[in-house]
Structure 1
Amino acid sequence: MIDIDRVRDDTPGTRDLVHLNNAGCALPPASVLETTVDYLRAEAARGGYETQRERAGQLAATYDSLAALIGARPAEIALADNATRAWDMVFYGLRLGPGDRILTCRSEYGSNAIAYLQQAARTGVEVRVIGDDDSGQIDLRELERELARPGVRLVSMTHIPTQGGLINPAAAVGALASAAGVPFLLDACQSVGQLDLDVAELKCDVLTGTGRKYLRGPRGTGFLYVRESAMELFEPAVLDNGSAVWTSPTTYEMSKDARRYETWEKNYAAVAGLGAAADYALSLGTAAIEARVLALGELLRRTLAGIDRVRVHDLGGSRCGIVSFTVDGLAPEDVKSALAAERVNVSVSRSTSSQWDLPARGLTGVVRASAHYYNTEQEIAYAGSLVERLVADNGPHDPRD
């Protein structure tokens, strides 16, 4: 069980606000802040290259911690500036052409969908969006049928979408893709640090994650897992002298492990902070984190669903700490602004990030409130009371008034 008082003491931001925007950028614990700033101070005192050499062990430990977080080996981990760049390094390395097919889901994230569409225009690859089942998650029977057809080169999907609380059945998708001999690329941007993940159970060949969201790390950090047996399936999109060695005037040799997907230059202070964030999550236990976050998500969902004129829009048989909702008669941006005025942070997810999902449900945007384990039941009740007051203050008016 997580000691909530302790983790709140470790989180300075909880003293002044109710932060329900963890799906956007979570509040870091003090250890992440201290580790990052300490590294920057060392660079200022001794020089960047010199600090990198002196703290090689600390930087290498980040790979170990990230690997432990998802059940991987350190050699299967690569670092990136963000999750999208980590994802790009693999996806854009695929050699695709006419007759090839990519299978994805309706809840796919906008950046990934744009990449599919760009490759379709460039190469002639077909992008096939698998429909939802009755619960709103990816339809596994339809996926299995599509995998039986020729030409499938990749199954790629988002584990938890940006626009709601759905948890897609990634392990079941991975099992189907594995049985069909098709690589599986999993965008775990919202699930790393929120769910208890194991790449062996997920059966994914590639997994990408970010530091700034539920992992509570610095912005400008991301990472990539590539299964050792799948390393040769995905040629890196770009190479430099961090991912390969220039062995002769006309030859080069790629790194043997996942660092072939990295570039040489990094924000090493942020890398150190990312390692501290992974260590903090490991110290609490990812199973305990998942249980706490999912319970708070359900409490927030019930609280909002009980308010007149509030509609909760989360799909799926399994749901997480992200809750999407709208208030009849109010734009999502207005709800966000009203809550911000009371020092409650939420976000807005728009159709531009989810064109295959929100418009099909008649939505142009939703308010996104996302709980983390350091939030409290009292904070959720307070946020609910503010939404209820907002509804009352903006109720229907008699046109004769």
Structure 2
Amino acid sequence: MQQSRRLGFEIDLVPSDASGQIDVAALDKMIGPKTKLIAITHVPTQGGLVNPAVEVGKVAKKHGVLYMLDACQSVGQIKVDVAEIGCDILSGPGRKFLRGPRGTGFLYVRQDILDQIDPPFVDLHSATWTETNGYELAKDARRFQNWESYVAGRVGLMEAVRYARAVGVAHIEAHVAELAQDLRDELSTIKGIAVHDLGQNKSGIVTFTKDGTDSKAIAANLREQTINVSVAPVTAARLDFEARNLPAMIRASVHYFNTHDEIARFVDAVKTTD
């Protein structure tokens, strides 16, 4: 929204389909001669769904439109292959499911579109001062990188990537999906609990509410029992929350190091939490 106000372009919102994920057929019909970019979130911060990124990539390729994917919640828990997805740009943080250091992140830009993108700012690392009133951007990804950077964080980020690869992305994805579905199934049996996850394919993010109980109070109660969850507020995803008339939700995120015994303990704790 800030950039649209600053630069004057328009944002068109693609509707969701019956499952709650992006409606790919509607997206295909909405693209016109003025469409410059498709930008979607792979795995939203709430609601559990995994958007059909590969299918969106096919639409982008069909129309010759740039495609940017926010992989904030997907990298580290499911397979993310830019070639298979067909995205031109992909961004993600080091923390979250990749379990790297805070303050780190990464940006992928397809090589043959580099010159279509003007970095927000440049310095003597990302560009060369070639003449008094001229400069030349770096030929590679360094054009998006600042001179001063968090070196220790980058080392930690690379170690997190190695760790995830050693565990195996396929193994992580399968185990996370199994645990998350187990959690959803168990929570759904508790009186007063509503699980709010959507999508044909679901991630390790499980969101729910409890009748008559504030989500922040539940999170605080669980923390006293050394169980960590977060609260997804309306301001984190206003379009989704308002469309479904939802209050703030508890977000329980499982990962490959969790066990079925921990799921059972969590469910028991939720039963007695007010």
* TM-score class normalised by the smaller sequence: over 0.9
2:124 corresponds to: 241
Displacement of 1:247 after TM fit? 2.1
Q: Is structure 2 residue 24 aligned with structure 1 residue 140?
A: yes
2:93 corresponds to: 210
Displacement of 1:366 after TM fit? 0.7
Aligned counterpart for 1:278 among listed residues 161, 164, 169:
161
Aligned counterpart for 1:256 among listed residues 106, 114, 139:
139
Secondary structure at the residue paired with 1:165? coil
CA distance in 1, matches of 2:74, 2:35: 26
2:52 corresponds to: 169
CA distance in 2, matches of 1:381, 1:360: 32
CA distance in 2, matches of 1:234, 1:163: 30
Q: Deviations over 1:38-65 (max 9, x none)?
A: xxxxxxxxxxxxxxxxxxxxxxxxxxxx
Q: Deviations over 1:133-179 (max 9, x none)?
A: 000000111100012x2210100010000112110000000110111
Q: Which aligned runs of 4 or more in structure 1 are off by greater than 4 angstroms?
A: none
CA distance in 1, matches of 2:70, 2:258: 25
1:365 corresponds to: 248
Q: Deviations over 1:64-92 (max 9, x none)?
A: xxxxxxxxxxxxxxxxxxxxxxxxxxxxx
Q: Is structure 2 residue 3 aligned with structure 1 residue 119?
A: yes
CA RMSD between the two structures = 1.0
Secondary structure at the residue paired with 2:97? coil
CA distance in 2, matches of 1:351, 1:254: 40
Displacement of 1:267 after TM fit? 1.3
Displacement of 1:355 after TM fit? 1.2
Displacement of 1:123 after TM fit? 2.7
2:207 corresponds to which letter in structure 1?
Answer: S
Alignment of 1:35-74 (within 5 A): none
CA distance in 1, matches of 2:257, 2:47: 20
1:265 corresponds to: 148
Q: Deviations over 1:109-130 (max 9, x none)?
A: xxxxxxxx12222232111111
Which structure has the larger Rg? Answer: 1
Q: Is structure 2 residue 103 aligned with structure 1 residue 220?
A: yes
CA distance in 1, matches of 2:33, 2:64: 12
Q: Is structure 2 residue 238 aligned with structure 1 residue 350?
A: no
CA distance in 2, matches of 1:245, 1:297: 49
Q: Deviations over 1:176-219 (max 9, x none)?
A: 01110000000001000011111111000000011111111000
Q: Is structure 2 residue 19 aligned with structure 1 residue 128?
A: no
Displacement of 1:252 after TM fit? 1.3
CA distance in 2, matches of 1:123, 1:280: 41
CA distance in 1, matches of 2:209, 2:142: 43
Secondary structure at the residue paired with 1:214? helix
Q: Deviations over 1:241-266 (max 9, x none)?
A: 12111223222111101111111111
Structure 2, unaligned runs of 5 or more: none
Displacement of 1:285 after TM fit? 1.4
Q: Is structure 2 residue 66 aligned with structure 1 residue 178?
A: no
1:316 corresponds to: 199
Displacement of 1:364 after TM fit? 2.7
1:230 corresponds to which letter in structure 2?
Answer: I
CA distance in 1, matches of 2:2, 2:158: 34
1:329 corresponds to: 212
2:48 corresponds to which letter in structure 1?
Answer: G
CA distance in 1, matches of 2:7, 2:139: 28
Q: Is structure 2 residue 271 aligned with structure 1 residue 384?
A: no
Aligned counterpart for 2:175 among listed residues 284, 288, 292:
292
Aligned counterpart for 2:43 among listed residues 148, 160, 163:
160
Q: Which has the higher contact order (CA 8 A, sep 6+)?
A: 1
1:127 corresponds to which letter in structure 2?
Answer: I
Q: Which has more helix, going by share of residues? A: 1
CA distance in 2, matches of 1:164, 1:266: 34
